[in-house]
Structure 1
Amino acid sequence: MNGIGAAQVDEAIRLKHRVEQFLFLEARLLDANAWEEWLRLFTPAGMYWVPRMRGQLDARTQVSLFHEDALLRSVRARRLANHRNWSQQPPTHATRTIGNVSVTDPGPGTIVVRSSFQMLEWRADNPRAFGGSYTHTLREDPAAAGSFRIEMKRVDLVNCDAIHENLQVFL
């Protein structure tokens, strides 16, 4: 016997379910281009990071595809929502599938979650596919019992080192 009781197993299952529901909500908001609602999922100091290289450890000393704080995410979200944004005429449509969710590091108030994703993007009769893994660092949201806020969202693309046409929407 490894000392894990039924109550601990039940709590781990409930936590994983809550985390999955949060990740699915995030994907639905992004799919719906609900940028303002998506922005509210982050903590005030939350970061969104898409590394340019596999295994990249530091966004500040190496080039990243995106490394955005609240201000930069907000600027991009407002640009995406602006009907005068010519680079989004016609607007991008996307759908995301999230799977293989694992809670890798539950700690006091912080949870690290790894998941796999696929995203299909459609814009101006041009389909693009992206895939990779997400690593979310989540904090319990004191304002909404049982929910989370994003402290860090790291997106590791399978083809991070490829040449990408302008990436406009959030992955």
Structure 2
Amino acid sequence: MQLLDRTFDVSTVPVSGASLSAEAVRRVEQFLFHEARLLDERRFAEWLALWTEDGRYWVPRFHDQANPFEQISLFWEDKMLREVRVRRVENARNWSQQPLTRSAHLVGNITIEGLDAAGHLIVRSTLQLTEWRIDQRQLAGAVFHKLAATEDGGWKIVLKRVNLVNCDDVFANLEVFI
């Protein structure tokens, strides 16, 4: 099973530096802003298209969690699980989306951290998320994206790790993506 593939590199510590032009850094920033907008507008099919085939979405359950294999995570999803969640969230009969979850992502403090062993760009940002469905809640944390360059000069997500400030809290349903 792909999710249990322990060779998948979940590290967000760079092994080398990355030298990007100001224009390239701006394209990375725009990519992260675009991803947040797709989530806020519930354009999940377009959001799914931002990922590589083997991309992983990870929200650790513990501070400084080294990997998703030794401890439980809030989310550890591959392509299939992201697609299943989108189908469930978009299903008109899904009681947990009546009313629909609304969100506003605020992405900031974007820094280029470097490259991983495979040459993927590691980008760190901070996130403030306001989410509403019956009640309003606030989530915040550090987000690490590992990005693979595409032939057309764009990016695809290899790994998205969301380190929530309150990851060890008790949560009501976390339905939509952070």
* TM-score computed with the length of structure 2 as normaliser: 0.86
SS in 2 for 1:168: coil
Name stretches of at least 5 consecutive residues in structure 2 with no aligned partner.
1-17
* Cα distance between partner residues in 2 of 1:109 and 1:160: 29
User: Are 1:30 and 2:39 counterparts?
Assistant: yes
**CA–CA distance in structure 2, aligned partners of residues 164 and 61 of structure 1:** 21
- Structure with the greater relative contact order (CA < 8 A, sep ≥ 6): 1 or 2? 2
Alpha-carbon separation, structure 2, partners of 1:161 and 1:27: 24
Equivalence for 1:140:
149
Does residue 75 (structure 1) correspond to residue 97 (structure 2)? The answer is no
Structure 1 spans left out of the alignment, 5+ residues:
1-7
Aligned mates of 2:143, 2:24 — CA distance in 1: 18
CA distance in 1 between partners of 2:72 and 2:58 (Å):
11
SS in 2 for 1:121: strand
CA distance in 2, matches of 1:66, 1:106: 24
2:93 to 84, 87, 101: 84
Aligned pair 1:115/2:122, yes or no?
no
What is the root-mean-square deviation in Å for CA atoms of aligned residues?
1.5
Paired with 1:24 and 1:109, the residues of 2 have a C-alpha distance of 23
Residue 105 (str. 1) matches residue 109 (str. 2): no
Per-residue CA deviations over 1:65-115 (Å, capped at 9, x if unaligned) read: 000000000000011111111111000000100000001114675200000
Number of positions where the alignment pairs a residue of Structure 1 with one of Structure 2: 160
Residue 150 (structure 1) aligned with residue 157 (structure 2): yes
Corresponding residue to 1:94 among 95, 103, 124: 103
The runs of 4+ residues in structure 1 deviating greater than 2 Å are 106-109
- Greater Cα radius of gyration, structure 1 or 2: 1
